[in-house]
Amino acid sequence: MKLILIILTACASLCLADPPLTITLIHLNDLHGKYEPVTAGSKSEECKQDPKQACIGGYARVVHAVRALKDKYRDFNPIHINAGDNFQGSVWYGFLRWNVTQAMLNLEPPSMMTLGNHEFDHGIDNLAQFLNNVKWPVICANIKTRDEPAIDEKISGALVKQFHVNSQLVKVGFIGALFDKTNLTTNTGKVQFLNAIGSVRREAENLRDAGINKIIVVSHCGHSVDLEIAEAVGDLVDVIVGSHSHTLLWPKHHNTHPTDQTIMGEYPTIVYPRIAPGRKVLLVQAFCHGKVVGALKLDFDSNGEVIKYESDPLYLDENYPQDAEVNKVMDVWRNEIVEIGKTQIGHTKVLLGGKNCRWGECPVGNLFITIFRKHYFKDWSEPMLALLQGVSFKGDITNAIITDGDLMRVFPFDSSVDAMDLEGKHIRRSLEKAACLDRKQRFNFFQTAGFKVIYDMKRNEYERVVDVKVDLGNKKFEPLMDEKIYKVVTTSFIANGGDNFTEISLNKKNYQMGPDSRDTIKNYLATHTITGSDLDRGSFVLNCPYCEDKKVK
């Protein structure tokens, strides 16, 4: 890992004090491929289907906002920062991955970027292609990349930017950081992850020793970790530009207010670190999915302390202007996405319903979870259980010919197909959770393969699983035993606690990350015409008129 110094000259205590400096941070995070406008709930398809829907964000608005802020603060040293997680989360990324990501971001290149955890989701090669095609430096202090030559030398721990003030060069240091458990949740190859807080301190001390007293962290660690960084390194760090947790921070007295969104704190959030009495650290974050572009104007005194700030984030509602040239570029990519969506990937002889999967068993869920189980079953002779939550599935496949677009439409979430060891009691507890209503009064029943589950919904929560039998092969079943260890297959989302299934994430052993979920499905469909025998029925929900009422008829 190297430190980028832009015309940096080592400066010791003999250097003259810096003159006061004003800079403006313009920042974006967690775009997740949401180039199209989205609803308040981040659904782009609903925007296309309902013209009355109030749709916000979209990359044409993002670019317009960034350019407008750069112009507004052109006399105050605007710096455009991207705090990571540009990959993953839309049809655009699902079909076109690194290529469309670099093309979109290069329309308005940031001054710098840190990596998000989702930048690793499709492996080192996918990330390397992206890094080879971007026009800006990428910083991340808490990873070691020497064992991954495709990305080594393309990522630095920190960089220094300099500004001309009254014939003097004034330097500001920027440090990148990434959630340091990323290697447990995605495909990071041989990249080594170091403690984020310790790495930020190390780089901050290096910058201080080089005579730089204005330091900004670009963090993809989440707001709670950013608070810890502010406390632990607040003697050196001035501002943290955050991401990862999709936290909406907003100024109390701003002239606009995001609608249909939950504000989680003030923009900026101010931390007074105990490690440095009298100092303050400012934390900002720009929500997610292109709905907000952050802007923070900072006045530093000659000692490198923030003496004044101005908050000016923009909420990109349906009335905010869009950049016409960006929309023209997007039209070209839209056409490519449409063509890819027409690609034939398989055939089915049965209707594959998928609209009611959270209310009980469904054919699409049966098929996909059976495919995931079969991917691993060829390697293991012992009983193997597979499960996937019902909310994963978003529609029916009604035509005999299955297309890439069908698969993306009914199974839009990117994940990998992972395996682990799990005790029976944790499986049972997870099944019980799936049979509890969430805060929106919905169930989230698991689609299962390799075992059969009977629920009685007349019973109290966490007492509804009345029978679980494990498939031993040759049509032989035995009861699930609480203390026995089973091989379990699910998606990376569930394996890592998604939808609050923490019983799995906290208790899994011998965790093995596997292939991309949609690639696994496509590989199976390429060699199998789907019939009723491909559907492994596993879940039976009794006494639930509420479920029947909620199902799409």
pLDDT, position 534: 80
| Size of the chain in residues | 553
CB 54 within 8 A of CB 324: no
User: pLDDT for 195-237, tens place per residue?
Assistant: 999 999 999 999 999 999 999 999 999 999 999 999 999 999 9
Token reading at 378: 């060829």
End-to-end CA distance of the chain: 57
**Cβ atoms of 232 and 276 closer than 8 Å:** no
Torsion of CA 461, 495, 384, 423, to 10 degrees: -60
The pLDDT value recorded for residue 48 is 74
Determine phi and psi for 94, rounding to 5 degrees: -55, -40
Phi-psi region of 36 (alpha: psi -120 to 50; beta: other; left: phi over 0): beta
For the domain 23-336, what is the CATH code?
3.60.21.10
Say what the pLDDT of residue 7 is: 38
Contacts 24+ apart (CB under 8 A), 459-463: 461/432, 461/435, 461/436, 462/429, 462/432, 462/433, 462/436, 463/432
Would you kindly state where each structural domain of the chain is located, as residue ranges? 23-336, 343-550
CATH architecture of 343-550: Alpha-Beta Complex (3.90)
Question: Rounded to an integer, what distance in angstroms lies between the CA atom of residue 90 and that of residue 378?
Answer: 32
**pLDDT value of position 191:** 98
The token duo for 497 is: 């606690």
Give the CA distances from residue 116 to residues 142, 185, 223, in Å, rounded to whole numbers and listed in that order.
12, 12, 14
Q: For residue 448, what are the β-bridge partners?
A: 387
The pLDDT value given to residue 381: 66
- Cα gap 454→122, rounded to integer Å: 37
pLDDT per residue of the chain (553 residues) written in tens, 0 to 9? 555 544 333 343 344 689 999 999 999 999 999 999 999 888 887 787 777 788 999 999 999 999 999 999 999 999 999 999 999 999 999 999 999 999 999 999 999 999 999 999 999 999 999 999 999 999 999 999 999 999 999 999 999 999 999 989 999 999 999 999 999 888 899 999 999 999 999 999 999 999 999 999 999 999 999 999 999 999 999 999 999 999 999 999 888 889 789 999 999 999 999 999 999 999 999 999 999 999 999 999 999 999 999 999 999 999 999 999 999 999 999 999 999 999 999 999 999 998 889 888 899 999 999 999 999 987 666 778 999 998 888 889 999 999 999 999 999 888 899 999 999 999 999 999 999 998 778 888 999 999 999 999 999 999 999 999 999 877 789 999 999 999 999 999 899 888 889 999 999 999 999 999 999 999 999 999 999 888 877 788 888 988 888 787 5
Tell me the sheet residues that pair with 192.
144
Peptide bond into 78 cis (omega under 30): no
Model pTM score: 0.88
d(CA 191, CA 211): 31
Nearest to 269 by CA among 194, 219, 213, 203: 219
